[in-house]
Amino acid sequence: MNNSETAREDRLDEIDRTLLTALQGDGRCGYAELGELVGLTAGGARRRVVRLQERGILQIIGVTDPLKLGYTSMALLGITTEGDVHAVADALGEIDDVVYVVVVGAAAYDSLAAVVADDQNSLSEITTRRRRT
């Protein structure tokens, strides 16, 4: 399969886009409701959703709210790196309070890291001392 065939296969139609938008708002939305939204039966909506998952376009996951889990401080860090940006990103990812790290490519920063902490003191510890090691 060449690149143009792959690109054609990965194209989304309006029904796919509507289903994705609905599931981004509520990942637990039922197939009957999804089908009604796009003019399909519940079974038709289910087949579309399963196809999106099989193609790797859709993954339904649970997202937590750090503030409701007891964390009171959060930060998004823009990081510039000397040396191997992937090694630094991997090291940042090993810190328990780092929720995620993204290597950015051509931007003002080499990577971004989201950090949650129990309080301002813990956040300060993570963002000043621990990231420099």
pLDDT in tens, 51-64: 999 999 999 988 88
**Whether pLDDT at 46 is above 90:** yes
**Whether pLDDT at 3 is above 90:** no
Answer whether 0.85 is exceeded by the pTM.
no
Q: In what order do the strands lie in the sheet with 111-117?
A: 73-79, 111-117, 98-103
Mean per-residue pLDDT for 72-77? 90
* Residue 5 pLDDT: 44
* Residue 10 pLDDT: 66
Instruction: Grade residue 35 by pLDDT with cuts at 50, 70 and 90.
Output: very high
CB proximity list for 36: less than 8 A, separation 6 or greater:
none
Task: Tell me how far apart the alpha carbons of residues 18 and 14 are, in angstroms, rounded to a whole number.
Answer: 6
Structure tokens given for 4: 């143009």
* Residue 4 pLDDT: 46
Higher-confidence position of 8 and 94:
94
* Residue 124 pLDDT: 87
* Residue 132 pLDDT: 54
pLDDT more than 90, % of the chain: 43
pLDDT more than 70, % of the chain: 88
Q: What is the 3-state secondary structure (H, E, C) of 32-95?
A: HHHHHHHCCCHHHHHHHHHHHHHCCCCCCCCCCCHHHHCCCEEEEEEECCCCCHHHHHHHHHCC
**Whether pLDDT at 77 is above 70:** yes
* Residue 62 pLDDT: 85
